[in-house]
Structure 1
Amino acid sequence: MSPSPQHPARDTIPVGDVELHDHYLPALPAGDYRIEVTHTLRTGPDGGAGIVGGPFLAVQRFTVRAPQVAVGTAAVVARQPPDSAEGRFAEVLPHVVLGDPLLPWERPLSGADRTTPWLALLVLTDDQIAGGTTAPARSEPTTVGAFLAADPDVLKPALSPEADIGPDDPCEVVRLPTAVFRQVVPRLDELRYLAHCRGANTGDRPVLGIEEDGLFSVVVAGRFPAAAPPGSPPEARTKNIVHLVSLEGHEPLLRPDPDFRGRTSVALLSLCRWTFWAHPDAPGHFRDLAEGLTRTPDRSRAATREEMWLRLPSPYEDADGTPEARREVARRIGAGYVPLPYRIRSGERTFGWYRGPLTPVLPPVVDRVTTADAADSLLGYDPARGSFDVSLAAAFETGRALALADSAYIQELTAFQRAARGLADTLYHRATSSHLPPDGDEGRPGTARTAFAALLDGPLLATLGTTPARPTGNWSPPAPEPAPDDPSRDLDTFLRSDAARRAITRALDEDDGLKGHLAPVVDWLGRLLLLQGVPFSCLVPDGRMLPPESLRFFHTDPNWTAALVGGALGIGARSSRDTLQDQVVAAVVRTKAAESAAAHRDASRGVPNGPADEPPAGLGPVGGLLLRSALVAGWPHLAVRAVGPDGRALPVLRMDHLSPSVLLCLFNGVPATVELAEPQEGFRFGVEDDGLIPLRRLTTPDTGPRPPLGEQLGPGVTFGVLDHLRPSADPAVRVLDLGSLLPALSAALDRAHGTALGPLGPADLALQLVRVPEAIRFDGPDGDRFPAPEGDRG
């Protein structure tokens, strides 16, 4: 696939907005090309000059490549309805979103202009497909050579494979009976209205490895899905099969009365395929799934805000009258702890309270965490109740285990520690040497070598060249410097001094060698602060905290992440001196790791850095959510937006799929409002339940208020799309008749706008058929954070 050209749509379009364009045409369509250059040499004056040696010719051949018989799975960004989804989809026009905005227009169709796509999206049922009975989508795997081989019963396309496609290359084929082809395949003059280009800001979406430039191409089906008739039982459902097919080579058939030349079926290349089920109920509909997140796990009632924190349901109440032991359990569970089996060093078995980094409360900062050099120093014990708190000790060991499992990180850390310890030694010896000027001298040399070089000036050389004078007194050697009373204490005092810390910080910022060692360490630790690589069992130690079809909010415990980083940093110390030197440097490393974590998502998305004089973004209190739902699998590009108490959008630090059905989101701040929405590039097309669409504004008035484009023109200003279908004896086959629909829709829009708008384009039609992306919003009480913040009751 050809790479998408750079485009600022990803970041210049406001989050939640979308741009529609008729098409995005490549500079050259795909195909084999040749460039010829001729040159003629003449002799003599102009006019009567003779040709020397005849004209010279140079030929350069090249191929503009584009998918022809297959597209990669990464090319498909979204399918609507989602693969294997179930819902009330009868009034939805299926569509596919492609990551390459050029793809539908990269191959030309004979008899059509460049704005006509070579792709079409077909909606079919099982009885409308010939062959392929073993595959869910009824496609048949084959090779290019076998597909193009002549068949007396199957009409094949007049397709010329390009130079990079061999006869043994694999492909997928779907065969349609000729009667079905005539019913459901768009006409040549209709194709351009069933594809468009779309721009959207991708900042509120998971980073799934696609080339995000904010532009997408969309191919829309011209047929509504088949569904059970009104009055059918709720369990009734109809399987629909969707194929994205190539029409290249089938141009003669794309007319109202095609000639199939005696064949009984037509073979089409299937580039993408999926299935879904349409039925009266909507268990897989976005709205039903989203509203289900607001209910308790047994779906018996609406969940309270307290129940939407990430924690176990408590069997006891923290209330007067509850026995103290049970009340303590309720407090611990309410603060996010889980009781887990624990074996102490002496071998006895007991239990320990464990809380991961995702907590329902925001605990106070524990200063000793950043100076801990062993997990045991972070183990908590309550002598009154005989219970252990193993949370921070487990975090320290988790960081150490993740670091030791990454040999590249260990090499970078070791090299950095060696350089940093060498710097600390140099600074100490420089500060205590009697051979260098005192610290107060701003011009003092940094090393003995530079100090000696400073002495080699003109007067010294002149003095060395004169005859030495006879000594006047007896010479005695200078007394040696007294040894320090306590060298370790002097070194400790120096390393803890502000001057040493400033010098080390300055070296980490300015010294090229030390900065080079620091950068990969900081980048690795920044990802660790975002909990990348941390096992899911450490994040959610009990599955009951995150049941199926649930949404849970949390704070990130800064003590847990500090212990995690401490375990990853505290490797390689061989002495107390190494430990102390590492602790001095660690403060700077932790600060820079936090800056790296704050900028990690932007860096992974290729967002350019801010101005050089702008300070790097800091890492504040981190809030987030965990979503375990079919929404994650059905809408992999689900949009998640968080707004802080000040009304500003909170930066997304991390948004990743931990599994096909679990989504983790971290925000730089604690949100007051969180919204889950269908992605802008994945919204639906279709009609309302009554077959009508609300007409939308295509222009803005020259005077007066200027309503936004795409706004509904008003209540009751509608148009009946289902009045313009191709004639069919089967009520389940509802295919748009664009030759009738477009003129009627254009006239209705002219009347609604009060002026002639001119011919409609593909983007205009898409705007009228769009069904606004559905969303669900969670607000905090009285505009406060959601859920309501609490103190640490643990």
Structure 2
Amino acid sequence: MTTHPPGIALYTTWMPSLRGHEYTVTAEQRVTRSGAPSAMWTFSTPEQTLVAGRLRFTLTGAEIAGCFPPAGTAGDFGHLLPFVSLRDPYLPWEWELGSGKEWEHVPSLALLVLADNEIAHMANGDAAALLAPDKPPADLVLPKLDNVFLTGPCTAIDIPATFFAALVPSRDDLPLWAHVREEHTDAAEPLPATATVAAPRLPSTPGRYTAHVICLAGHEASLLKPPASGAVRMVSLSSWSFTHAPPAGDEQDSNIDAFNALEKDRRENPSAGRLRIPTPASDTSPAGQRLKAGYAPITHRLVTGEPTMAWYRGPLIPGPGTEAPAHAPFRCADEALIYSTGDGVFDITLAAAFTLGAQLVLAHTALCDTMLTWRSTAAKLARALALVTHPDTTGHDLPPASALPDPQALLQSLHRSSLRATFDVAMASGLGERITTALRTTPAQAPTSAPKSGPVASGVALRDHLGRLLDDHEATEVLRRSMVTALAPPPATAPTAPSGEAGTGGATSQTWTWDPVAMLELVPTWYLLPLAEAALPADSMRYFHLDGAWLNAFADGMLSVGSHTSTDASLTPLLKEIVFDLRQGAVMPGCGLLLRSPLVRHWPANPGVARKDDVLVTVEGAAIISRRLLTAETMLLLFDKTPSAIRMRQPAHVLEYGLDSSKGHLTLRKADGSADTDIAPLDVTGTSSYTGAVPASTDKVIKAAALLDGMIAALPAPKPPRNCETFAFQLLHPPAALTIIPPPAQG
């Protein structure tokens, strides 16, 4: 096995074993008889036509690893070349263009960057109708493809001949605009390779551009000799838009600048990287201490109607939270209000968490139905256990643990047997009289007379007996085990976060529980991070811990839905222990990181799925257990414990590709990747032999073959080979990286 040192390996092509094309297959068998007389027989089959692969007319989002500039962004992209990274490294060379050695390494895909006014026509429809119409316009050049390939939907764009000639690379230049990147790390296996297809256009004119991944199949003649007039119809497999906006002042114009901004914030941030509103270290006032603890001042209206100020802190706090004193679950938000006598201000943190939990359950039908089902099931089990253990049923006060029946088994047995027969026998034994006597009795009222038949009633109300059961540890354990079994849904129907929210609850071997990650994914961003602009400014990283008291109040609010009776209130602690067991079923997050930077937008990744090639943040001494995008430029990361170091770096498939700056210069590099300061930078855009012009625009188009010759001529001996690897190596920007040590737990 060949090993590579850590770094990025560049390849000219990744050629599939059999390229997409139409092949003719013949089979022939010859049989020869030796000896005298000799003879030979030949057996052959008719020729058969084999079509390997198929023409691609669309690309899905899952097939694209990344693109630059990122879709929907605006920035200074005038010195950078747009490109798309494909997860399948064979894709650009999957289909064979033309025939002969000169077409061997020519990719069938290209990237075309067009301004809004540079497309003559765009249409969506069936491939056969768009690429082989019955009556095509006389001046429209169509791809020459066999009808067998024209199946499925596609997007067709008509490009005026003048723009086609200026923007679509020639056959000799096309191999230089596609290459493969494979990133090698210290691990045994490299990260998945990606194919990169770049566009030759430098979008230097301010405005909106659209990048199209186009299929070149059928346009071989136009690549050799572009048409002089009319338009060329091409297939756009995928497209995205961006806006070139030259920077004003100190605005960032590259990923390197974004890394530098994060490093500057790390050095200058007075709050040592913790998630809180900055305040002077010398501020010892009550308000200053509140801000240092992660609180934010917000407007609040009292029950009497007067407006005032209150303190609120979300579940993300700057340091490890203190252990909250044990208390019964809150039954309403007012129970969770805290009044600070020192400054005469309410702390509404827990009350807001309670209210939010209740409102989120009520806002999602499926979640509300699940909560109500849990409560109803728990109440049935508790009443069944109370009924069969009531003194009037058993004849003694409280049966021992060994005699306590399983409520779940009791309910199931009742359903399996004949209820009518069981009821008749029980009523004949005086059960009805005993039950009605127990239900009529209150703690302050004993029966004044004995029933006419049957044993004497105990005088204990059923609800009081249930309360005594819940106070008994052994009885509670029996009920808890029964509830765990009853509340466990099938794996396929386990409750998840409401539609539109990422993430699900955790699952254990016994029952489904809400873990901290699932609970946080329900919480809207503002409740997670109040006054975000102050606590998490642009180009910053902030560390946090989770507030267990906030999560507990949030769980209390969720469980308050459907709690109406004293029995419901008595069962709430037990139900909370089962459903919201924060210690069971998931890893308790030990630390978290909030990152706000354009880097998040530039490197989009599914926050719920960690791909090997979507590396934005790696940690040492800990593991990432959750990722969540709060906004397009804000990411929340949760770790299982406090990491020893956090490293950020650019993945290989999104490395910037182009010139040094808007001045149009290119600094050549040595074989080790360092800048060769002994060589003057190439003036790319100022030399007509390296670039061409776009009609009616100031944009430049790089002539790849001419620029490669200029690179090789300027580099000292030994000269690098004249291939795509050399071309891509000189245009790739070095990967940016940043290492940050988390702050100590206290401070």
TM exceeding 0.5: yes
Does the aligned pair in 1 maintain the 2:156–2:234 contact within 8 Å?
A: no
The one-letter amino acid of 1:292's match is A
The one-letter amino acid of 1:196's match is V
The one-letter amino acid of 1:778's match is I
Q: CA 1:653–1:729 in structure 2 vs 1: closer, same or farther (change >3 Å)?
A: closer
Q: 2: distance between equivalents of 1:626 and 1:390?
A: 27
1:371 maps to which residue? 329
SS of the equivalent of 1:252 reads helix
Give the deviation of 1:691 after TM superposition: 3.8
2:552 maps to which residue? 562
Give the deviation of 1:573 after TM superposition: 1.8
2:601 maps to which residue? 633
Give the deviation of 1:250 after TM superposition: 1.1
Give the deviation of 1:540 after TM superposition: 2.9
Give the deviation of 1:501 after TM superposition: 4.8
Is structure 2 residue 245 aligned with structure 1 residue 259?
no
Q: CA 1:419–1:663 in structure 2 vs 1: closer, same or farther (change >3 Å)?
A: same
Q: CA 1:525–1:584 in structure 2 vs 1: closer, same or farther (change >3 Å)?
A: same
1:244 maps to which residue? 213
Q: CA 1:219–1:713 in structure 2 vs 1: closer, same or farther (change >3 Å)?
A: closer
Give the deviation of 1:25 after TM superposition: 7.0
The one-letter amino acid of 1:652's match is I
Does the aligned pair in 1 maintain the 2:200–2:703 contact within 8 Å?
A: yes
Q: 1: distance between equivalents of 2:626 and 2:574?
A: 28
Give the deviation of 1:661 after TM superposition: 3.4
Give the deviation of 1:79 after TM superposition: 1.9
1:573 maps to which residue? 563
RMSD in angstroms over aligned alpha carbons? 5.3
Give the deviation of 1:388 after TM superposition: 0.9
Q: CA 1:723–1:360 in structure 2 vs 1: closer, same or farther (change >3 Å)?
A: closer
Q: How does 1:135-534 map to 2 (within 5 A)?
A: 138=119, 140-142=121-123, 145=129, 150-160=136-146, 165=151, 170-177=155-162, 181=165, 185-187=169-171, 190-191=174-175, 194-196=178-180, 215=192, 217-221=194-198, 223=200, 225=202, 242-254=211-223, 258-260=224-226, 263=229, 266-271=232-237, 272-275=239-242, 277=244, 283-293=252-262, 303-306=268-271, 308-314=273-279, 318-319=283-284, 327-368=285-326, 371-428=329-386, 434=394, 439=400, 480=455, 483=458, 488=463, 490-504=465-479, 506-507=481-482, 519-520=494-495, 522=505, 525-526=514-515, 529-534=518-523
2:425 maps to which residue? none
Q: 2: distance between equivalents of 1:623 and 1:750?
A: 50
Q: 2: distance between equivalents of 1:387 and 1:533?
A: 28
Q: 1: distance between equivalents of 2:272 and 2:406?
A: 65
Q: 2: distance between equivalents of 1:566 and 1:544?
A: 30
TM-score under structure 1 normalisation?
A: 0.65
2:705 maps to which residue? 737
2:29 maps to which residue? none
The one-letter amino acid of 2:171's match is R
Is structure 2 residue 517 aligned with structure 1 residue 536?
no
Q: 2: distance between equivalents of 1:718 and 1:639?
A: 35
1:111 maps to which residue? 99
Q: Name stretches of at least 5 consecutive residues in structure 2 with no aligned partner.
A: 27-45, 415-451, 497-504, 507-512, 606-613, 694-699
Farther off after superposition, 146-155 or 531-540:
146-155
Is structure 2 residue 656 aligned with structure 1 residue 684?
yes
SS of the equivalent of 1:306 reads coil
Q: CA 1:722–1:185 in structure 2 vs 1: closer, same or farther (change >3 Å)?
A: farther
Q: 1: distance between equivalents of 2:215 and 2:67?
A: 17
Give the deviation of 1:120 after TM superposition: 1.1
Q: CA 1:451–1:78 in structure 2 vs 1: closer, same or farther (change >3 Å)?
A: closer
Q: 2: distance between equivalents of 1:286 and 1:491?
A: 64
Give the deviation of 1:402 after TM superposition: 0.5
Q: CA 1:443–1:422 in structure 2 vs 1: closer, same or farther (change >3 Å)?
A: closer
Does the aligned pair in 2 maintain the 1:176–1:266 contact within 8 Å?
A: yes
SS of the equivalent of 1:554 reads strand
Q: 1: distance between equivalents of 2:290 and 2:555?
A: 25
Does the aligned pair in 2 maintain the 1:403–1:410 contact within 8 Å?
A: yes
Does the aligned pair in 2 maintain the 1:435–1:448 contact within 8 Å?
A: no
SS of the equivalent of 1:578 reads helix
Q: 2: distance between equivalents of 1:765 and 1:508?
A: 67
1:665 maps to which residue? 637
Q: CA 1:687–1:743 in structure 2 vs 1: closer, same or farther (change >3 Å)?
A: closer
Q: 2: distance between equivalents of 1:266 and 1:283?
A: 38
Out of 53, 56, 60, the residue aligned to residue 67 of structure 1 is 56
The one-letter amino acid of 1:97's match is S
Q: When the two structures are aligned, how many residues end up with a matched partner?
A: 634
Is structure 2 residue 746 aligned with structure 1 residue 789?
yes
Q: CA 1:440–1:71 in structure 2 vs 1: closer, same or farther (change >3 Å)?
A: closer
SS of the equivalent of 1:620 reads coil
1:231 maps to which residue? none
Q: 2: distance between equivalents of 1:777 and 1:713?
A: 21
Give the deviation of 1:412 after TM superposition: 1.7
The one-letter amino acid of 1:156's match is L
Does the aligned pair in 2 maintain the 1:140–1:172 contact within 8 Å?
A: yes
SS of the equivalent of 1:670 reads coil
Give the deviation of 1:111 after TM superposition: 1.9
Farther off after superposition, 141-150 or 75-84:
141-150
Q: 1: distance between equivalents of 2:49 and 2:690?
A: 52
Does the aligned pair in 2 maintain the 1:155–1:260 contact within 8 Å?
A: no
Q: Deviations for 1:397-424, whole angstroms, at most 9, x for unmatched residues? A: 0010001011111112222222233333
Q: CA 1:294–1:504 in structure 2 vs 1: closer, same or farther (change >3 Å)?
A: farther
Q: CA 1:355–1:482 in structure 2 vs 1: closer, same or farther (change >3 Å)?
A: same
The one-letter amino acid of 1:79's match is C
Does the aligned pair in 2 maintain the 1:525–1:565 contact within 8 Å?
A: no
Farther off after superposition, 309-318 or 25-34:
25-34
Q: 1: distance between equivalents of 2:121 and 2:413?
A: 82
Q: Deviations for 1:213-232, whole angstroms, at most 9, x for unmatched residues? A: 985743332637376xxxxx
Q: CA 1:728–1:539 in structure 2 vs 1: closer, same or farther (change >3 Å)?
A: closer
Does the aligned pair in 1 maintain the 2:623–2:641 contact within 8 Å?
A: yes
Is structure 2 residue 734 aligned with structure 1 residue 772?
yes
Q: Deviations for 1:13-72, whole angstroms, at most 9, x for unmatched residues? A: 99x987777767779877999999xxxxxxxxxxxxxxxxxxxx9x9999976632x445
Does the aligned pair in 2 maintain the 1:395–1:560 contact within 8 Å?
A: yes
Q: Name stretches of at least 5 consecutive residues in structure 1 with no aligned partner.
A: 1-12, 37-56, 127-131, 202-212, 228-235, 320-326, 453-476, 599-617, 697-711, 753-758
The one-letter amino acid of 1:191's match is P
Q: 1: distance between equivalents of 2:368 and 2:233?
A: 57
The one-letter amino acid of 1:415's match is T
Q: CA 1:664–1:514 in structure 2 vs 1: closer, same or farther (change >3 Å)?
A: closer
Is structure 2 residue 577 aligned with structure 1 residue 587?
yes
TM-score under structure 2 normalisation?
A: 0.68
Farther off after superposition, 363-372 or 579-588:
363-372
Q: 1: distance between equivalents of 2:304 and 2:527?
A: 25
Give the deviation of 1:733 after TM superposition: 4.1
Q: How does 1:38-57 map to 2 (within 5 A)?
A: none
Q: 2: distance between equivalents of 1:111 and 1:718?
A: 43
Q: CA 1:440–1:761 in structure 2 vs 1: closer, same or farther (change >3 Å)?
A: farther
% identity of equivalent residues: 24
